[in-house]
Amino acid sequence: MKNYTKAIPRSIYVAFICSLIIGMGSISSCHKTSNNNPSSSGDSCTFLFHLHTQIIDSTIGGNVDGYDSNTTGSANPWYLDGLNRRIELFVPQFFISNIMLVKSDNTMIKLSNVVLLKGLDSEDYYMCKVPTGTYVSAMFTVGLANADSNMAPTMMDFLTNTNLTGSLLTYNQAYPLEGTMWNGSDYFGMKIIGAYDTSAAGAAGGTAVNPIPFTFNIPNSLTIAQTIALPTRGTAAADNYPVYVATGGSTNYIHVLCDYGKLLTAIVNLKANNSTSTMPSLADSLANNLPNMFRYEQ
């Protein structure tokens, strides 16, 4: 299997992590609980995740390499989190794996060998071609839920994503590289680097003058323990958002807000508890709060 990582610029969309399996015939595959495997574009459709980096009511994002352009040259780069604290994110990243799409008849389609790495700016992630039908939900794991979690980046086969015509998807967005999540022996499931404004001026809504940095590296072993199950669409639990009626040849987006403003409420005192390297237990608190981080955008 050819590795395109070095041949393609950093800004190109990198969405798949495929295991180095000899004889693998494709870069992604779908495992179904039924035998309705699509054989042509007429009986298959495409699904993508559209993932926003969110802090409560604000969708944030910036320029390149996972750093928010608001960090410099802006009088107000801060956002209120779920505890009304003013925070800024520089590097919010996490893996998504073990993705399952749920049909209206409760059939679950597992997307094998598909792993996404969500960064600050990256939003659109191709997942797979699946059978047509009515889809009502999606499930996934934060982190790498397979043997890839202890394979060094130089050994991995991270392939660029392609669309239905085989051309590269280049959304002019900065997609992070897998090596940024490697800790020397395995991968972090999630990494969060940012700052918390503790100044009196910041509390009053002014320009921050005394930000406290925070760094939270959450081990993959903790994040994969949490299964994220989005609520069933067409119900009150999903704000009555309509189901996905996926017809032949259609492209369907699952719009999800990844809300760090809610996730960070797991840490009450950010001023004192701001690093997993000095307080490893903070990683447990954040991992346990992961189910509260995700919700539909539309």
For residue 1, pLDDT over 80 is answered with no
For residue 261, pLDDT over 90 is answered with yes
pLDDT, residue 245, reads 96
- pLDDT average, residue stretch 83-90: 87
pLDDT digit string, tens, across residues 162-184: 333 333 333 334 567 778 888 88
Most trustworthy range by pLDDT among 90-99, 190-199, 274-283: 274-283
- pLDDT average, residue stretch 69-95: 73
Task: Give the range of the structural domain holding residue 217, as residue numbers without chain letter.
Answer: 14-296
Residue 102: pLDDT band with limits 50, 70, 90: very high
pLDDT, residue 162, reads 36
Q: Does residue 105 form part of some domain?
A: yes
Q: Does residue 1 form part of some domain?
A: no
- pLDDT average, residue stretch 58-83: 56
pLDDT, residue 256, reads 96
- pLDDT average, residue stretch 87-97: 91
Q: Does residue 9 form part of some domain?
A: no
For residue 9, pLDDT over 50 is answered with no
- pTM above threshold 0.85: no
Q: Does residue 2 form part of some domain?
A: no
pLDDT, residue 285, reads 97
pLDDT, residue 284, reads 97
For the chain, how many structural domains are there in total?
A: 1
Q: Does residue 250 form part of some domain?
A: yes
Q: Does residue 159 form part of some domain?
A: yes
For residue 275, pLDDT over 70 is answered with yes
pLDDT, residue 18, reads 31
Q: Does residue 5 form part of some domain?
A: no
Q: Does residue 6 form part of some domain?
A: no
Residue 274: closest CA among 168, 197, 207: 197
* Mean pLDDT (the chain, rounded): 75
